[in-house]
């Protein structure tokens, strides 16, 4: 994956506050998933031929993810119109709920591939386009391209001479809303909510009430609640990884906001206040159990850095999220 391309996968899906540390999640770990799709390669799909004719493709009613995946494999990833076609075919499905969840995984893998293809062939090393986006006096060409990509559900950003692409989850949710399962709908809604939380900090939103540590806690608590509500969701392993990454960041600090002062070795008061509040407010959470153990370790060490803290997370057993009764 080239620098400057964000896709929806584990390393980009955490949507946490500081890009250099945790944007390894908000836009990088493609929807992992679906054993349903993995079996597609070995499934005889001769009864459901893959048509190259767009009109016929728009009318096909896929019975499940194994056929949907085969159809997507046949689409032209270099043509952004294929994203719209993939959405149309998704909407015309007659699959059961589990297979539809896996179809969302397949769609996002396809969309990420299409965006990567576009980035490699149209954006990477394109000096003329870079000049257009860097021209503050005339943004007409830049706006035109941005708007064109938006019609296919792609956000295009340009920062420090680099192009960045990411899926527009609101676009996907709106296009697939009528056929998504309740769990997949909530998954997309959760991702959108977390991304907005991240955007508030990135833009310096003064109305943002949460501190940076509290915002990280908001990330893993949100996923913890999702996993408790949908323990069998098709992307549960990927989501659990995002939960662990956010919890790890909460207990180890961020590059832009270290947990300990490099000179005094004392803990940043913002983290300490957040830990105390989190433990008091969430007495029954699994994450609070881990935070409490870490807080007790901090107490024993006088709230100053100690080598024991480096091994705490690796030695601590982080069990799966228990199902809510």
Per-residue pLDDT tens digits for 56-85: 778 889 999 999 999 999 999 999 999 999
Instruction: Determine the average pLDDT of the residues in 277-284.
Output: 96
Instruction: Determine the average pLDDT of the residues in 284-297.
Output: 95
pLDDT digits (tens, 9 = 90+) for 166-214: 999 999 999 999 999 999 999 999 999 998 876 544 444 444 567 899 9
Give the global pTM.
Answer: 0.79
To the nearest 10°, report the CA torsion of 276, 278, 280, 282: -160
Query: Nearest CA to 242 among 23, 5, 6?
Result: 23
pLDDT at 314: 77
pLDDT digits (tens, 9 = 90+) for 96-123: 999 999 999 999 999 999 999 999 999 9
Question: Domain limits of the chain?
Answer: 31-176, 182-315
Using a pLDDT cut of 90, give the percent of the chain over it: 68
Q: Token digits for 86? A: 């993939």
Residue at token pair 């990135």: 202
Q: Of 258 and 137, which is predicted with more confidence? A: 258
Specify the DSSP class assigned to residue 121. Answer: I
Distance CA 80, CA 63 (A): 25
């Amino acid at each position: 994956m080239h620098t400057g391309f964000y896709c929806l996968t584990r390393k980009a899906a955490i949507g946490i506050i500081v890009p250099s540390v945790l944007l390894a999640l908000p836009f990088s770990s493609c929807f992992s998933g679906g054993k349903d799709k993995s079996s597609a390669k070995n499934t005889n799909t001769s009864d459901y031929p893959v048509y190259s004719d767009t009109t016929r493709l728009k009318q096909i009613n896929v019975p499940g993810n194994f056929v949907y995946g085969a159809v997507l494999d046949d689409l032209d990833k270099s043509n952004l119109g294929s994203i719209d076609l993939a959405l149309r075919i998704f909407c015309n499905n007659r699959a059961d709920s589990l297979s539809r969840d896996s179809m969302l995984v397949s769609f996002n893998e396809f969309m990420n591939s299409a965006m990567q293809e576009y980035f490699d062939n149209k954006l990477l090393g394109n000096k003329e386009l870079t000049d257009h986006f860097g021209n503050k006096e005339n943004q007409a060409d830049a706006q035109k391209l941005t708007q064109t990509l938006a019609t296919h559900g792609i956000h295009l950003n340009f920062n420090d001479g680099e192009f960045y692409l990411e899926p527009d989850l609101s676009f996907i949710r709106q296009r697939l809303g009528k056929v998504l399962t309740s769990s997949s709908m909530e998954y997309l809604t959760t991702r959108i909510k977390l991304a907005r939380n991240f955007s508030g900090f990135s833009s310096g939103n003064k109305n943002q009430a949460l501190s940076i540590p509290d915002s990280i806690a908001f990330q893993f608590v949100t996923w913890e609640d999702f996993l408790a509500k949908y323990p069998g969701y098709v992307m549960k392993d990927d989501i659990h990884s995002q939960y662990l990454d956010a919890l790890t960041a909460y207990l180890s600090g961020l590059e832009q906001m270290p947990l300990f002062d490099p000179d005094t070795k004392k803990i940043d008061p913002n983290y300490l206040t957040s830990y105390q509040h989190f433990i008091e407010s969430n007495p029954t959470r699994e994450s609070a159990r881990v935070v409490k153990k870490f807080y007790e370790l901090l107490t024993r060490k006088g709230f100053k850095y100690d080598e024991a803290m480096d091994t705490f997370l690796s030695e601590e057993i982080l069990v799966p999220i228990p199902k809510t009764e």
